[in-house]
Every structure is written in C-alpha cells, then in structure tokens.
Chains A and B, each alone.
Chain A
Amino acid sequence: MSRLRRKTPADELRPRRGPDSPIVELHDVTKVYPGGHVALERVSMAISRGEFVFLVGPTGCGKSTLIKLLIRDLDPTEGAVMIAGRDVAKLPDKKIPHLRRNIGTVFQDFKLLANRTVYDNVAYALQVIGASRAEIREKVPETLRLVGLQSKVHSYPDQLSGGEQQRVSIARAFVNHPPLLLADEPSGNLDPVTSIGIMQLLYRINRTGTTVLVVTHDREMVDKMRRRVIELYEGRVVRDEVGGGYTEESTTEFGMRMRAEMGVGVEGHTNGGVDDF
C-alpha cells in the first residue's frame, strides 16, 4: 500500500494527443441498462480544457448516467468515453482510482460524512489518496478559505446550512486540485440565493483553470448564466450551444449579474470572505 506512487493530477491527465485535445469526449455513446431501458443513445460531445459547461435536461434524460460513465461507475454499452484522450472503458480496474482522483465530484445530497468535522471531511479526500500530513495541513485550510468556510472548520455537517454543506462537498472535490470537476445538481436542494453562491463558487474554481461540468435540470438559471449548454432529452443531445461573450468576466461580475438576472438582492448573499480571482 505505502509503496503506491502518488501521481499528480497533471501527470495522470496529461493529454495523449497534444495540449488542445478535449478533456472530455463522448463518441456515439449508448447506455442500455439491464432490462432494456435506454438511458443514453448515440451521445457525442467534446469539452475543452478550462470550459464551464452546463448539462441540462429533465429528470430521467440520462444526465446522471453520463456522470457515472465519466467516473467509470458504469461502462457504456456502445461507443467510447474519453477523458484526456484516454478511453475510460479500456482502463484496467486498478487504474480506476487514479481516474477518480483526477475528477472532483459534487452531488445534490453532498455525501458528507456526518460523524466528521468540516476539516476532517475535506482532509479525508487527501488521506484516502495517501497525501502526507504536511500536504493535508497546507491544502485543507487553503481550500476551506476558497469556499468561504474558514470559520466553520470544526463544525459538523448537521450544524451547517445546506449551502454551507455543499461548499464543504465542493471543497472536498477540489482539495486535490483535479483538472476536471463534475457537479451533479449541486444546487438541487438549495434556494435561489444560495444556488447563485454555489454557482459563483464553481465559476471561481473554473477560473483557476479547472474544467467544470455542471449538471442541472434548472433550465431557467442556465439560460441566464450565458455559458455553454448541452441539453439532453430522452437520452439524446438536443442542444449544444455556446452562450455569448461572458467568458472573461470576474467572479464578482458574474455574481452580480446572476443576482440581477435572477431578481435577488445583494443582501441575500452567502459567500463568507470571498476574495476574487
């Protein structure tokens, strides 16, 4: 166990086919569940490094299946799922943990460990991949500062609000600085104001160079974000368009615009101690 060499994220997801190859590629991916339900049908897409992409669609359209395919929780029935130019299905089982170390995942239900503090929840992600104590001591507070929870370090998840819990889960997903972050309905359980805060946080993470893929069923919000949107409907891609011209706005500008568009006042903000990137 201890001989296991730790690879840096850059090491693992180094592109095989040149620096401009997409970080996520799907080629005619079809997923049929046992029993015959077709979750995805000939889905193709490509997401470049550093993009901020929304994946939308009604419940049951195959969004969660897609996430599971990306982290190889499931294998596609047909087609190829490529992460950083590598066919995920061809990874040997032993390599799956390494794939997952390079993809941060955030879920609607947070998946926090109730019997551990905020700090321990975030540190857990590093302990699991064998990080040194020094590394944990350096990275955990830094990441908790990034998500604005430096004052809640010793709280337990049930002492936090939904938005704060989601921040912890984002911190856990990001503490290892993965090149790709997947967020499955990150604001599904949260009120609009808190949702904007979470989106703002994800945007901030995106501005550090991490590719972010946000899955949501909230089409209205997505339209206002003006980012690239891929829409799934009954397992097929029905829309893939790049929203115009906002890729260079700062996190603060982003937050302000979002609040304005959603009709929410600044007083409702939930970002503790946010420094802009």
Chain B
Amino acid sequence: MGRIGFFIKEGFRALRRNAAPSVAATVTTAITILVLGVLLPVFFFTQRTSEGVREQLAVKVFLYDDATKQEIGALRQRIRGLEHVRSVAFVSKAEALEILKDRLKDPGVLRELNTNPLPASFTVKPDDAANLTAVRRELTPPGPDGRPKPISGIVQNVVDAQETANPIEEVTSKLKIVLILLTVLLVIASVLLIGNTIRLSIYARRREVEVMRLVGATRWFVRWPFMIEGVLVGIMGGAVAILLLWLGKLIVVDPLADSFTLIKAQTDTDLAFPVLVAVLAASSTLVSAIGSGFTLRRFLRV
C-alpha cells in the first residue's frame, strides 16, 4: 500500500514540475477524446441508419393471378430453402390492395376499380444487404438461352431495390472510413504527445533515475511514476473532454431533442451517455498508458 502511495505521490510531483508539456499533452488528449465523443454517437447513428435501410431491402417476387394455393405453397418452400434468405412473407392480392389503400391519400380512387389489379407477391429478405444480388440471382437463374429466367412458372416478375441500396451503402462505408481515419490520426497525435511529455519528464528527472538505479531500484519501480504521470495526463484530458461533452449535451443536444425526434431517437437508444463516458474514460487511459509505455521502453534505460 505504501508503495502504491509512493508511486502516485511521485507521479503527481513529476506532473507539477513538468507542467508545460503536461498541459500540451492534456489539451491534445482532451481534443482527441472530445472528437471521439462526438464521432462515436455519429458513427453509431450512421450505422443504425444504414441498418435501417438494409432492413427495408428485399426482393419482390410477383406472381401470376392464376397460381394455385399448392403452387404458391411449393414456391414458398423453395424460396425458403435458398441460400442467404432470411425470411419470406406472402402478400396476397387483397393485402396488396390494403397496403396501397393505406398509402394513398385518397382511397376513393380505388373505388373506381372493379377488379383488383395488384398481383400477389412474396417479399424475400436476404440475411445481409450485401447478399441481395445473390438472392435475386437465385430467384432468376440463367435459363438455357443464358437470360435470367424465374425459378417457377407462376412467377411473373422479380424486382429488387438494388439501385437504391448501392449509393447508401457507398456513402455510409465512406463516411465510416473518414471517421475512423480521423480518429486514428488523433489517437496517434495523443500517443506521441504523451510520449513526448514523458520523455521530457525522464530528461528532467535523469538524476533521480540515476540515483534510483544506484540504490538498486527494480526496472518497474523506476518506471511506475512515469507511467502514472502519463496516465494522469490522459485521465485529466479525458475528464476535460467528458465535461465539455456533458455541457454540450446539456446545453445543445437535450433542448433540441425535444423538438427533433431524430436526435431524440439517437440519444435515447443507441449509445447511452454513461456508456459513452465510460468508453471515453477507458480510451483516454489506454491511449496515455500506451504513450508512456512506448516512451519508457525507448528512452528509459534501466
């Protein structure tokens, strides 16, 4: 216990004497964690939006009106047996009309129709958005003439939403890459700056290190105070960032959440604020530990 107290006391002592570089590293870490704190929810949000879009992706299999119940049942079984198919839902002619009625502002239009012109259909959902094309290909394998042909005679037409899915996929994946790149760069900057702080601290305390070696301190005994100094820098930076984020949430996000359901939905469900704080605190500690550990390994010859 006394030993841990000694290390922590030494860490704080070093921090006081090494103030200028410590402040620089603290500020950088704070900025990194701040950006991370903004990016993470945004990241989660885009992730969820693209998942929402994927959710809607499905292949529609329209059927001829003369298909019998047995034929329909057989086709359902067949589609279910295909690879990458997550679910198959049957929409009868009547149901299709109901759906159309719901969507129309003026259902009266339909009263003009004597018959139901809508075909019955299967909604086939792939297990993953990426497999949409594969499922479509399975439903319409190339016939003898090389052109796609439906797997069953009762199938009138097969339609998918590939055209809408592609751009969304592209945008979200590019956004992800940009966000990840930005975060990685900031993390590297923090690691290097904390490393630099520790390096200066080692230089400032080279006499102490020399004395420690002479009286027989073990390698980690010499290292711990530096390690703690670096982690303290990280924790302080993280604390500043979390405080700013909390203020931002309180002042900007929360009032907006009342008027914008989008923000509300996002703040409520995806990433609860306490979880975000925990993640940020952990990453600031980790980043600073890596920064100091790396520097100690390189510059502290014990």
Contact = CB atoms under 8 A, between A and B. Distances in A.
A256 interface: no
A129 B208 contact: no
Contacts of B220: 1
A101 B3 contact: no
Given A113-B211, A130-B3, A1 B216 contact: no
A152 interface: no
B91 interface: no
B84 to A, nearest CB: 54
A98 B214 contact: no
B210 to A, nearest CB: 6
A100 B218 contact: no
Contact of B207 (A111, A129, A172): A111
B212 interface: yes
A195 interface: no
A105 interface: yes
Contacts of A100: 213-216
A69 to B, nearest CB: 15
A111 B224 contact: no
A128 B3 contact: no
Given A111-B207, A111-B210, A2 B216 contact: no
A23 to B, nearest CB: 17
Interface size class of B (residues with CB under 8 A): 20 to 34
Nearest to B212: A128
Interface string A229-260: 00000000000000000000000000000000
Interface string B182-221: 0000000000000000000000000110111111111111
Contact of A99 (B3, B212, B216, B219): B216
A85 B2 CA distance: 35
Interface in A67-108: 71, 94, 97-102, 105
Given A130-B3, A132-B2, A133-B2, A4 B218 contact: yes
Interface of A: 1-2, 4, 71, 94, 97-102, 105, 111, 113-115, 124-125, 127-130, 132-133, 172-173, 176
Given A4-B218, A128-B215, 13 more contacts: A1-B3, A1-B218, A1-B220, A94-B218, A101-B215, A102-B216, A111-B210, A113-B207, A113-B211, A127-B6, A128-B217, A129-B217, A172-B215
Interface of B: 2-4, 6, 17, 207-208, 210-221, 224
